[in-house]
Amino acid sequence: MLNNFYHERVAPHLPSSIKKRTVLFVMSIIGFTSLIVGVIGTYLSAHEVEELFDARLAQQARQLAQMTDVENFNGKTTVIYPAMVLEEDEDDEDESGLEYEGKLHYQLFVDDKLVVISGDTQLQPYEMDEYGFGKAEANDHHWYTFSLTIDKGGKKVSVVVGERSDIRGETISQIAAQAFFSSLVTFPILALLVWGAVRLGLDPLNLLVQRIKKLNPHKLEVIEMDDMQEELTPIQTALNTLLSEIDLVMEREKRWIADAAHELRTPLAVLKLHAQNASTAEDAGVRAEALAQLSHGVDRSSRIVEQLLASARVENQRVQSTVEDIDVLTVTRSVVAGLYPIAWERSVTLELIESLDVLSYPISQGHLEILLQNLVSNAIKFSYDNSTIEIGLEMIDTTHFQLSVIDEGVGVSSENRERLLERFFRSGEQAGAGLGLSIVKSIVDIYEAEIRIEDTTPHGLSVFILFKLD
């Protein structure tokens, strides 16, 4: 589901360049991670700042308590730096160069009497914990306080040290701002480094592209590269497989063109001769004979072309993808019915013998039709007049069924029987390219079936094809 969402909604809006897309992904991850780390770091820094400021308050309170001279106390309250305490508009750094010094406040009590105060505002701590840390509100500001009480010279000395909360907020803000500024400055530099790294990492892909561009379209060779990266190995393997298959297809096309030129050269020359004879003949009988020969030559050339085209179709479909089961009986009946007119001209009877009610097999319907047409038409061609051809379908056992075509024709000698499946082998003087049974053999090989050719008693030829059921 996530993969579909990415390809349907996200991918169309991304750069088409792998390099740009990779940099975008990497920098997005880095940016998101930096944001998370920054938030966590700011939170932890704020906590550390709180502890540091609390420790400073406690330290100052203890120092004031220890430095207090209770013996010389005259009972009057002393105010120190009255103009430096709560001025909103004064700078955060005084002449001493100590930042935020003016925003620290302290009060000193001796026997609960205020003796020293660092300004005209008195803090009243509340929510004090067991360690003395508390809070206070004064002059529209929130204060963090630390209170300490000790016994000194028989008198109770109490110290309250306070610090405005905006000091800590400013410090935390500065930490966050510095972290953000650092990230802002380094982000473009990091993007350039990532861009260079991605470009360097994609260099093997560019080498593969250059190697592909150098391929000769007339002679495709496999791509071989030294130190092929692991990620590119599947691409190289797939390309080499594709190139090998394309090379085979090109070789088959070249062979088919050569075969077609070879097989059609003589018939076309004969057709031209008959046409010339018909055009120059003065006698009507000679002209009629030439035209009859011309018609016969056209029929023979048509059969040659049909066989060549059928051979090309089978060769191009030699690598089969997954095919669905088809009804073999229905296809067989249809092909046999289509051949009845040809058999009728020869006074040959086609007899379909079925011992099955249903027969399904995973085979291309086109392949099955070509196989049946070649077997049956070949049997018709070599059968005697008024003879019978039996086309049979039967189960041999639970895992095999057999297709058979048995004729009562002229048959073939034992010497030639082994050559019947060769390309362009002709037995007898019948017209054709000698491709019929070689096409059948190609289809049989595609489906890993077995073909067997035997004599028919008393004469004729029998072809048996054994298919294995999955």
Q: What is the pLDDT along the chain (470 residues), one digit of tens a residue?
A: 666 665 666 666 667 777 888 888 888 888 888 888 888 888 888 888 888 888 988 998 888 888 877 666 666 666 665 444 444 444 444 444 455 454 678 888 888 888 888 877 788 888 888 888 999 988 888 888 999 988 887 888 899 998 888 877 787 788 778 877 887 888 888 888 888 888 888 888 888 888 888 877 777 777 777 777 777 788 888 888 888 888 877 777 777 676 667 556 766 777 888 888 888 888 888 888 888 888 877 876 776 677 667 666 666 665 555 578 899 999 999 989 988 888 888 899 999 998 888 889 998 887 888 888 888 988 888 888 899 999 999 999 889 999 999 998 877 766 666 666 665 555 554 444 445 577 788 888 888 899 998 888 788 889 999 999 87
Q: What is the pLDDT of residue 388?
A: 92
Asked which of 262, 292, 316 is the last residue of a domain, the reply is 316
Question: For the chain, what is the domain count?
Answer: 2
Is 433 within 8 Å of 385 (Cβ atoms)?
Answer: no
Are 282 and 384 in a shared domain?
no
Are 343 and 462 in a shared domain?
yes
Query: Does the residue 363 lie in any domain?
Result: yes
Strand partners, 455: 461
Q: What is the pLDDT of residues 328-363, one digit of tens each?
A: 999 999 989 988 888 888 899 999 998 888 889 998
Query: Does the residue 120 lie in any domain?
Result: no
DSSP string, 201-228: HTHHHHHHHHHHHT-BTTB------TT-
Are 339 and 427 in a shared domain?
yes
* Cα separation, 293 vs 284, whole angstroms: 14
The DSSP letter of residue 459 is S
Give me the residue label for tokens 């048509």. 302
Query: Does the residue 155 lie in any domain?
Result: no
Query: Does the residue 398 lie in any domain?
Result: yes
Query: Does the residue 206 lie in any domain?
Result: no
> What CATH number did the domain enclosing 458 receive?
3.30.565.10
Q: What is the pLDDT of residues 134-163, one digit of tens each?
A: 999 888 888 889 999 888 878 888 999 988
379 exposure class (CB count in 10 Å sphere: 0-12, 13-18, 19+): buried
- In this prediction, what percent of the chain has a pLDDT beyond 70? 78
Rg (alpha carbons) of the chain, rounded to whole number: 51
Is 387 within 8 Å of 408 (Cβ atoms)?
Answer: yes
Are 298 and 371 in a shared domain?
no
Asked which of 265, 299, 316 is the last residue of a domain, the reply is 316
Are 455 and 369 in a shared domain?
yes
Show the domain range for 292: 252-316
Query: Does the residue 2 lie in any domain?
Result: no
Q: What is the pLDDT of residue 146?
A: 92
Are 277 and 330 in a shared domain?
no
* Cα separation, 440 vs 405, whole angstroms: 12
Q: Crossing angle of helices 18-67/165-201, nearest 10°?
A: 150
Are 412 and 288 in a shared domain?
no
Q: What is the pLDDT of residue 102?
A: 46
* Cα separation, 12 vs 16, whole angstroms: 8
One-letter identity of residue 90: E
Instruction: Give the CB-side neighbour count of residue 336, counting CA atoms within 13 A.
Output: 20
Are 307 and 347 in a shared domain?
no
* Cα separation, 85 vs 87, whole angstroms: 6
* Cα separation, 145 vs 61, whole angstroms: 10
Are 331 and 283 in a shared domain?
no
Are 331 and 431 in a shared domain?
yes
Are 275 and 333 in a shared domain?
no
Q: Is the pTM of this model over 0.85?
A: no
Query: Does the residue 269 lie in any domain?
Result: yes
Are 349 and 453 in a shared domain?
yes
Query: Does the residue 337 lie in any domain?
Result: yes
